[in-house]
Amino acid sequence: MFDRMERMEDDLSQALNSVSLEQKDSKMDTFGLYVVTWNVATAEPPDDVNSLLQLSSPKKPDLYVIGLQEVKAAPLKFVTDLAFEDSWSHLFMNTLAPLGYIKVSSIRMQGLLLLFFSKLEHVPFIRDIQVTYTRTGLYGYWGNKGGVSIRLSFYGHMLCFLNCHLTAHMNYASQRVDEFQYILDAQTFDTKNTPRILDHKVVLWFGDLNFRIEDHGMLFVRNCITSQRYNLLWPKDQLTMMKPKEATLRKFEEGPLDFQPTYKFDLNSDNYDTRVQKTWFGFNGKKRKPAWCDRILWRVKPNSSPSDDTNEDGQNQEDTKKQLEEQHKDEFPLKLSQEYYTSKMEYGISDHKPVIGIFRLELRKMFEMPLVQMCAEGEWSADFDALITYSLLQSFTSSSWDWIGLYKVGFKCFSDYVTYTWVKDDQVSFTDELFQVYVNKDEIPVLGGECVLCYYSSNLQCIVGISQPFKVQESRVVIEEGLLPENINGLDETIAS
């Protein structure tokens, strides 16, 4: 145990000595960011989403951001989903967890759902997580339309993801822009430097934005789609048309619409709206014209220019602040580029097809170390109390509500722990640099397995340190007594006797 503690002290010393070197390192790191938007039209999830997430690709993204609209929100089901996770969240977590991703954050507002997944290795570097929502349906009193967002710090760079469902129908393009502006104005975060969405270094805006194709008739639109001459439709796409007129829209970029419009399809087919729609008094309703309703746009905040205003000393304090911020931005640059933008035509459970955007995120990390380093001491099994040793690699405000969770490798989200221990209440020893806490043997899984330890900061509301995977041994009592898994509930009585 003492050898392990000495090694941790050496690691700590090396880590602290490397802090100054980090600032001088000019290396840019590259991350894959995979964005999905899909209006699921109250349907239950498909059997699998492997194709949607391109899981057969040899190179997996580092981050998945998944925005859904019109998730089924019947009152009883909505209450159940809030308590136990909805079926869509379960599907994505069950699919991605075995591949080493965990759900870092999510937010649900009635039919709007936003999920953020990360590879486990990045989780200790994802901080400042906040979520919020804005209703725009029924004059802001109903959540069937609006926006939900997740904002966070990724290696020190502030990112914001905004999933919107804007008002429908051809004649409401201006209202859609007004709703978007209202969402940007209404959503605020409890932070000094990035209180609003557009203050973030990167903003991803996506969803069922409901912009339509104007002027062209149904026959012309369908002929362009059949011949794959999508460019003939771009000048009449409402979002494209309104960009030059709206300053807010001009701030956002979008890749070329080199895929067929994603709305409106017959269910379980690739045919556009062939139904005979009955309306009042038996008249046939108008078929929906195809449109690119489902979109993914992005914005990288430009560097601000120093002001020319001066005071008696030749430069005012505001200018100095801006120049310092400019130097900071140059020291830690960030670039975002889109590598792929398309629809996934094979999914037919909705009248919308899902849209995916794959991005390349390049940045210089503002920090390389997690806040906490920890390890499992000695052999772990349900036959003995266990010890955890941890150290603080950087100063942060710890709390008596901080805890360390024991997780099975492949866990799905922060709450998917096997057990946990309070870092203050269960502390057994400490030095100036190293701390130890114990875990009661009755809380350790008797059948063992591959596990990791995660330190959760109550103040920061995120995981700030993860151990290397380690093996929890199967309980010797289980082996000696021949207890089967179905009889495992009797283990406590067996140990006590």
Residue 70 burial (C-beta neighbours within 10 Å; 0-12, 13-18, 19+): buried
In angstroms, the CA 154 to CA 250 distance is 26
pLDDT tens track, the chain, 497 positions: 445 445 544 554 444 344 334 444 468 999 999 999 999 999 999 999 999 999 999 999 999 999 999 999 766 555 555 555 799 999 999 999 999 999 999 999 999 999 999 999 999 999 999 999 999 966 555 558 999 999 999 999 999 999 999 999 999 999 999 999 999 999 999 998 999 999 999 999 999 999 999 999 999 999 999 999 999 999 999 999 999 999 999 999 999 999 999 999 999 999 999 876 555 555 555 688 999 999 999 999 998 644 434 344 444 555 555 555 555 556 899 999 999 999 999 999 999 999 999 999 999 999 999 999 999 999 999 999 999 999 999 988 889 999 999 999 999 999 999 999 999 999 998 888 899 999 999 999 999 999 999 999 999 999 999 999 999 999 988 777 766 565 555 444 444 44
Q: How many CB atoms lie within 10 A of CB 489?
A: 9
Residue 488 per-residue DSSP state = G
- pTM surpassing 0.85? yes
The amino acid sitting at 369 is: M
Per the structure block, which two tokens stand in for 420? 């946990």
Residue 429 per-residue DSSP state = E
In angstroms, the CA 195 to CA 201 distance is 12
How many residues would you count in the chain?
497
